[in-house]
Structure 1
Amino acid sequence: MPSLAESMDALRAIADSAPVSALASAFAANGHEFALVGGPVRDALLGRPVTDLDFTTSARPEETQRILETLSGSVWDVGRDFGTIAARVHGETVEVTTYRAEIYRDDSRKPEVTYGDTIEGDLVRRDFTINALALMLPELRLVDVSGGVEDLLAGVIRTPASPAVSFTDDPLRMLRAARFAAQLGFDVEAGTLAAMAEYADRLDIISAERIRDELVKLLSAPDPAPGIRLLVDTGLADRFLPELTALVTTQDDHGRHKDVYEHSLTVLRQAIELEIARRAPEETAPDLVLRLAALLHDIGKPATRRFERGGVTFHHHDVVGAKLAKKRLRELRFDNDTIKRVARLVELHLRFFGYSDQQWTDAAVRRYVRDAGEELERLHILTRADVTTRNRRKAERLEHAYDDIERRIAELAEAEELAAVRPELDGGQIMRLLGIPAGPLVGRAYRYLLEVRLDEGPIGAEAAEDRLRAWYAEQPEANPEANGA
């Protein structure tokens, strides 16, 4: 953590920026308290980049909107019921929320909101002490009502109020504790950790969309594993991702040095390292599809575990896992594109293994590329990350094998436009050549030519026509009388 002087310099720089200075002056001129609050204050004190600007004020939402309209022509209602108004001020998007208190009733998924009158009252109701910090503006006065600065220095996550009250009021805070532990590398205080386990079933009142959003933020951390461990250890994962907890007691194929759960966390870490190493310079956003696939790639193992001849097998866990991933991500309200991509990666993650024992033909390589489609680069990363063996010789053999298959894919792609593998004849050409109308027969003919393309590479349009005629001559539709029609 930076020195106090460095931290205050960072806060002063934020306060002196054009949008913040304009906001502070406008609210002060209208007789209202105004403060930078929560994450931006925390991150400035920690020396982390400050990206979002969140403010709180004594003004009620209607007055906040009126003041913002004097500064910007772009003002909108983010959630008036929650007291939040947003605007674009000097090119920055800002959100201003009225001092508030909120609680969840036992049978409610939505908080009940009441407005407060003091910054101290607002801060006490916040999730954790490290976020219960405010910089009053324009006077540059730091308000810390619950020891948040001390907890930042100690690297501790705890609630301002008792954790029982805090997690009963808003159960989503339990997931946020896991997320902050991963993002900041902090430890959860013992009482707070115990309450996460005690009140885990309270998470059931939270909507799937809000749980999904927290999971996404957790997986976007540089190392999500500590947060995931907290979710599993406290029983929170059981409430929305029970397949993850089921991995804990599922031994790997050899039953020796790791269980499937530990293996999955290692794969996730290694996938993130490879993702960062291989991404283009302009790419900065975490690859959520890859990270979900890495975390979930083995969730089919518990359902497929069998004890055979003194060993453990997980036959078809890739196919079963893909189905489970679809089901779980759908229940968490992920979008269809993400669900499809993650499930495809889970289904394909075993396809490569065996290549090191017997090199594939060019046809097999083409099929691998065809089946992976747009997920080929992610599949490269996932397959490499899936090697967690402690046997150095085996690990090196697999690494060299994957280097080889990527080289062959690149060579075939350059020679054959592999990324767009398709037959030499399209559907229209097939219909004209065979004199047949659109229908299932055209699809069968197209698939036949695609298999020829995959097996043999480009053969040219003339050869493709000859092969198609020969194939059609053997079909029942070509000689209906001989087939009893």
Structure 2
Amino acid sequence: MAHLLDTSTLTAPLPPVVLEVGGLFDAAGHELSLVGGPVRDLFLGRVSPDLDFTTDADPDQTLAVVRRWADAYWEIGRAFGTIGLRKDGHQIEITTYRAEAYDPSSRNPTVAFGTNLHDDLERRDFTINAMALRLPSLELVDPFGGVRDLHAGVLRTPGTPTSSFSDDPLRMMRAARFVSQLGVAPAPEVTEAMTHMAERISIISAERVRDELVKLIQGKAPDTGIDLMVETGLAEYVMPEVSALRLETDEHHRHKDVYQHSLTVLRQACALESDEDGPVPGPDVVLRLAALLHDIGKPATRKFEPGGAVSFRHHDAVGAKLAGKRLRELRFDNDTIKAVARLVELHMRFYGYGEAGWSDSAVRRYVSDAGPLLERLHRLTRSDVTTRNRRKAERLAFAYDDLEARIDALADQEELASIRPDLDGEQIMALLGVRPGPVVGRAYRFLLEERMEHGPHDPAEAQTKLRRWWGEQPESQENP
């Protein structure tokens, strides 16, 4: 299906560079079309700074057309027929028509150049991405009903889903990602194929799977994408710890559904993210992953107590280890791994505050242990309240309001975010007359404990306490 597009019907403007580059290729005697996601996004009312084009020109011919026009260009993807460039703030990729052939046992597609636009569109992942805008004529080419499916909110493949996912199993992850990002629902045949073929995701590199998972987690409704992965069995090969949250409830239903609880926590955490100028700008991958994984230690720690009660003792510590292991296997960077694992480890720390209250020293420890993750921990802890008991929810919210007020009050008096002993290492060594070594570390920890327990001291008071401590140490007798 092809027809001239009335751009006035679009809910997003067409960037001027699109028509400019289209005119350049037309003048050089080559075909050029805006293709894929950028075309889809025009119908969704948004323009991406990244623009994808396809052409009958080979890479050499493409370079000849754009070399002088582009602000900059690069040839990193040349082997795949892609020339990248930058123009007026837009990242642009221009790729020669493809007709890809796949080795079922390979992690990567084998690339063969095609000769026409229709075949190029047919090899794409979903119909909503298999649309093109010929340039400069603005002819919309939509042979597989992408506009129809986009308006209907349905995710379909140009050919059979089985063939599509066999060619590139990563497309199953993309299906879950688009559910999260675009709010579409997979067609029944897509879900069926994902279910039957989930195991094939195992041949895809961890890095490629991770990149799709991050895009899913950053979507508007990541819980829906995760749910599709779990329901089709895809999660068994990507994040099996999440699938394992679907615990069989006891006959009296004395504990909540951990899996559905985790999806609710993820939704609520997304809602608590701040704007760009706030402390946790969304979408925040660390917060969202921590929300999803915070209870993955429960299956391993579940215990039925006498009388039918269910406990999950130490699931926070177990979950932190499991989260770190899973994210390492998915090749996440170390900073993300450490942050998510730490949040999982700390997510239960608040409970008990409402019943017993905390001393100032306990509040200091809470802030110190959270460190730069404090604002995320605030949001994770609040998101973890999913009870339907309104009084309980209000009581927990009030208690956390009180804790945050305590933190703010202490922060006005002390630098809670970077609590240090009142004397540094150099001062400790000078006062005790010792060289660098284990004694200095022990003295430092003693002063830090005093600082946590009693707040800041003036230098004289800190020195007095350190001398008293030193007098009780066996080493002091060796250095009278």
Correspondence for 1:37? 35
Specify the alignment match of 2:24 in structure 1.
26
User: Which residue identity lines up with residue 427 of structure 1 in the other structure?
Assistant: G
Residue identity opposite 2:363 in structure 1? V
Q: Is the 8 A contact 2:12 2:44 kept in 1?
A: no
Query: 1:8 deviation in Å?
Result: 4.9
Question: Which residue does 1:108 correspond to in 2?
Answer: 106
Distance 2:7 2:227 in 1: 31
The residue aligned with 1:54 is 52
- Across the aligned residues of Structure 1 and Structure 2, the Cα RMSD in angstroms comes to 2.0
Quick check: 1:250–1:260 contact (8 Å CA) kept in 2? no
Q: Tell me which residue corresponds to 2:294.
A: 297
Change (3 A) 1:12 1:376: closer
3-state SS of paired residue (1:70):
coil
Structure 1 Cα separation of the partners of residues 144 and 471 of structure 2: 83
Partner residue of 1:316?
A: 314
- Verify the 8 A CA contact 2:273 2:280 in the aligned structure 1: no
CA-CA distance at 1:101 after TM superposition = 2.2
Matched AA of 1:296:
L
Structure 2 gap ranges (5+):
none
Structure 1 residue 104: deviation in Å?
3.0
Is the contact between residue 21 and residue 138 of structure 1 (CA under 8 Å) also seen in structure 2? yes
Q: Matched residues in 2 for 1:242 and 1:296: separation?
A: 11
Q: Which piece of structure 1 moves more, 18-27 or 139-148?
A: 18-27
Q: Can you list the C-alpha shifts for 1:168-189, whole angstroms capped at 9, x where unaligned?
A: 0000000111111121111111
Identify the range of structure 1 (48-57 vs 18-27) with the bigger mean alpha-carbon deviation. 48-57
Q: Do the aligned residues in 2 keep the contact of 1:449 with 1:468 (CA within 8 Å)?
A: yes
Kindly state the Cα deviation for residue 66 of structure 1 after the two structures are TM-superposed.
2.3
Moved more, 173-182 or 254-263: 254-263
For 2:125, the equivalent position in structure 1 comes to 127
Q: TM-score, normalised by structure 2?
A: 0.95
Question: For 1:395 and 1:279, how far apart are their aligned partners in 2?
Answer: 29
In the TM superposition, residue 285 of structure 1 has moved relative to its aligned partner by 4.6
- Counterpart of 2:383 in structure 1 is 385
Letter in 1 for 2:360: D
Q: Following the alignment from structure 2 to structure 1, what is the Cα–Cα distance between the partners of residues 428 and 278?
A: 44
CA–CA distance in 1 between the matches of 2:52 and 2:5?
Answer: 23
Query: CA shift at 1:51, angstroms?
Result: 3.8
Return closer, same or farther for 1:7/1:72 CA change in 2, 3 Å cut-off.
closer
What pairs up with 1:69-80 in 2 under 5 angstroms?
A: 69-80=67-78
2:167 to 166, 169, 182: 169
Match of 1:338 in 2: 336
- Determine if contact 2:99/2:114 at 8 Å carries over to the other structure: yes
**Could you say what secondary structure the match of 1:178 adopts?**
helix
Query: Does the Cα contact within 8 Å between 1:8 and 1:45 map onto a contact in 2?
Result: no
- Counterpart of 1:447 in structure 2: which amino acid? R
Q: Tell me what 1:81 maps to.
A: 79
Structure 1's 290 and 283: CA in aligned 2 closer, same or farther, altered over 3 A?
closer
Distance 1:250 1:481, change over 3 A: farther
Cα contact 1:423–1:449 (8 A) shared by 2: yes
Q: What code does the residue aligned with 1:112 have?
A: T
1:249 corresponds to which residue? 247
Q: Give the 5 Å matches for 1:163-242.
A: 163-242=161-240
Verify the 8 A CA contact 2:13 2:47 in the aligned structure 1: no
Q: What is the rounded CA distance, in whole Å, between the counterparts of 2:460 and 2:165 in structure 1?
A: 71
Equivalent residue in structure 2 for 1:325, among 311, 323, 326: 323
> SS of the residue aligned with 1:97?
strand
Amino acid at match of 2:316: D
The one-letter amino acid of 1:343's match is A
Aligned residues: 475
Alpha-carbon separation, structure 2, partners of 1:161 and 1:207: 25
Q: 1:189 to 1:10 in 2, by over 3 A?
A: same
1:112 partner SS: coil
- Equivalent residue number for residue 460 of structure 2: 462
Letter in 2 for 1:325: A
Q: TM-score of the superposition, structure 1-length normalised?
A: 0.94
Shift in CA distance, 283/319, structure 1 to aligned 2, threshold 3 Å: closer
- Is the Cα contact below 8 Å between 1:365 and 1:409 reproduced in 2? yes
- 1:352 equivalent to 2:350? Answer yes
Is the contact between residue 273 and residue 282 of structure 2 (CA under 8 Å) also seen in structure 1? Answer: no
CA distance in 2, matches of 1:318, 1:225: 21
- Range moving further from structure 2, 329-338 or 49-58: 49-58
Deviation, structure 1 residue 10: 3.2
Query: Aligned partners of 1:41, 1:225: CA distance in 2, in Å?
Result: 26
Q: Is the 8 A contact 2:12 2:42 kept in 1?
A: no
Deviations 1:253-275 (A, max 9, x none): x9447311000000000001011
Runs of 4+ aligned structure 1 residues displaced above 3 Å come to 4-13, 48-51, 254-258, 281-285
Q: Find the residue that maps to 2:244 and give its secondary structure.
A: helix
For 1:11 and 1:27, how far apart are their aligned partners in 2?
26
* 3-state SS in 1 of match to 2:408: helix
Number of the residue aligned with 1:10: 10
Q: Which amino acid is the alignment partner of residue 174 of structure 2?
A: R
Question: Does residue 159 of structure 1 match 2:157?
Answer: yes
Secondary structure of the residue aligned to 1:101 is coil
Q: How does 1:81-100 map to 2 (within 5 A)?
A: 81-100=79-98
Deviations 1:230-287 (A, max 9, x none): 10010100111100000012659x94473110000000000010114x6636985511
CA distance in 2, matches of 1:333, 1:28: 44
What fraction of aligned residue pairs are identical, expressed as a percent? Answer: 59
For 2:407, the equivalent position in structure 1 comes to: 409
Q: 277, 294, 309: which is aligned to 1:280? A: 277
CA distance 1:369–1:11, shift in 2 (3 Å)? closer
The SS at the match of 1:337 is helix
Partner SS state of residue 247, structure 1: coil
In structure 1, the residue matched to 2:61 is 63
Do the aligned partners of residues 388 and 134 (structure 1) sit closer, same or farther apart at CA in structure 2, a change above 3 Å counting?
same
Between the aligned partners of 2:56 and 2:246, the Cα distance in structure 1 is 48
Aligned equivalents of 1:413, 1:106: Cα separation in 2: 59
1:145 aligns with 2:143: yes
CA shift for structure 1 position 205: 0.9
